[in-house]
Structure 1
Amino acid sequence: MSDGATGPDGAAPLDPAIAERLTRDGAGLVAAIIQDDASDQVLMLGWMDDEALRRTLTTGRVTFWSRSRQEYWRKGDTSGHAQFVRSVALDCDGDALLVRVEQIGAACHRGTPTCFAGGELPARSDLRPSDVERGSAA
């Protein structure tokens, strides 16, 4: 991962005003939620360090840090299923990014439009706020 002095391509590091707003995990990473700008569908979750975020903001293509391969990867370079950045927002705690994209092709490495296709878990969906307030949510 980048040490913050310069990027691997010799470019300036991530803007310090942005970097100071980030709350990174122990590995120096921030979660990046990828959402389709046209449909609002959540497509995937990836991880970014300062350098991956810098590349994403400056190139207009989403770049992640691969925790398993320990290297940067730009979505679509091998699959052709690219993500073009439309906007990037930082959450209130600074520990998650919302990256809205124009998705070309499948977002998931398994070839599905979203990494969340078919992954629904059983959860209660019958509760209303008033149930919780009355203590009847048990």
Structure 2
Amino acid sequence: MDLAALLDRIAGDVAPDVGRGAVADYIPALARVEPRRFGMAVADVDGGLYGVGDWRHPFSVQSMSKVFTLALTLSRGDGVWARVGREPSGDPFNSLVQLEHEDGIPRNPFINAGALVVTDELARHGDAAEALLA
């Protein structure tokens, strides 16, 4: 598969929509982002790195880190599912309302409470920093 060509095609497909959304202004690092910036990158299992657009421009990762932390945790087993659910919450990502009504079990790993549980699970089973850098 030609990943560079695939990224170019996707970038071309979405180009008309770049800049159409609103930049979140409730987090200072996000409020400063130029809305027309767009980039994608893919790393393959052989060490190849492919990018298009502003992919080398630094950015604030924010909640995207939740996906990587969950993937790393799941690579060590599925025990995390005993501590966090897999259902949509229906509440804002930072709400504690549902958590209080469900015996402290977060609905999913992508709300803040769930992400904290996933991070704790990762930290409980070895050196989290070492695993992230491996």
Q: If the TM-score is normalised by the length of the shorter chain, which range does it land in?
A: under 0.3
TM-score (norm 2): 0.22
User: Which structure shows the bigger proportion of residues in strand conformation?
Assistant: 1
Point out the structure with the larger helix share. Answer: 2
> Structure 1 length normalisation: TM-score?
0.22
